[in-house]
Homo-oligomer: A and B are copies of this chain.
């Protein structure tokens, strides 16, 4: 099953999209939001599956699916927590500044809580006040859970993964050192995050989903140039059930909690990178200083993942960076 939320009010209008992303249910077909589906999954999914079957068979009315009409699958959420589980990325960053990796990072996932009141659709602009803040993309995988009990085991956590999607965790790199030096983690340096047009149930991912992580090349491009296509299934040090269990160690998680992987990063340098900071870090290690600039106003970012037949699985994230308008 593939879900999208068309832009409509604060929570969007839920549609089911065909597996090939060509067509969707008419916008008036489904009366609940994706948040409501996640809150009442077992009751609502049988009916939604019947709609999906009729959509795929052509028996039901349908309309062309346009990713440009999409909000984020959850246009706002009650919980968005992002891990950093591709340790290659962190090892590179620390190597560039001559720092050690703390041992605890190999036993305990890093995770920060992101803003979830405003989540961006796949084609929404990245609106930033100042180019000098060091605008960067981060191509990631995320899962969305239903209700999760406090203290859940890793094994049980796996059963709470309801949806999988792609993320652009937009980051303002030059605001990060000042924020982290204050000790409370990211806040201003993590402006609104963008999500792929569709969120996909694990069963619809076939062999790409092994119950714990997503296998597939994460294609990251800026202005049509490939930054990299690291495989999301490789070098993932903690998997999604481990991240969920980490998040739920001291609290229950409400239905609709989004848990991210952090920037996908492979040890194989031939796969390139899924963010500009990592490229700049490698340049610093190799030549003493970075040469690739961060994003400028007008730049376009594209993030996509394709199936074996070359078809986009989640639809592409395709965003332009624009300057924030003057404040009224």
Binding site for B on A (CB under 8 A): 10, 39, 76-79, 81, 84, 102, 104-105, 108, 110-118, 127-129, 133, 149-153, 156, 172, 175, 178, 180-189, 191-192, 246-247, 249-254, 256-257, 324, 327-328
Is A175's CB under 8 angstroms from B250's CB?
A: yes
21 A-B pairs in the complex with CB atoms less than 8 angstroms apart: A77-B78, A78-B116, A78-B117, A79-B115, A102-B181, A104-B182, A110-B182, A112-B184, A113-B113, A113-B185, A115-B251, A117-B253, A128-B250, A149-B327, A149-B328, A150-B324, A184-B186, A185-B185, A187-B247, A191-B250, A191-B251
Shortest Cβ gap from A260 to chain B (Å): 13
Is A256's CB under 8 angstroms from B117's CB?
A: yes
The 5 closest A-B pairs by CB, nearest first: A185-B185, A117-B254, A78-B117, A79-B117, A191-B250
Instruction: Please measure, in the bound complex, the distance between the C-alpha atom of A188 and the C-alpha atom of B108, giving whole angstroms.
Output: 11
Copies per assembly? 2
Instruction: Please measure, in the bound complex, the distance between the C-alpha atom of A215 and the C-alpha atom of B58, giving whole angstroms.
Output: 65
Is B110's CB under 8 angstroms from A184's CB?
A: yes
List of B residues within 8 angstroms of A256 by Cβ: 117
Is A151's CB under 8 angstroms from B324's CB?
A: yes
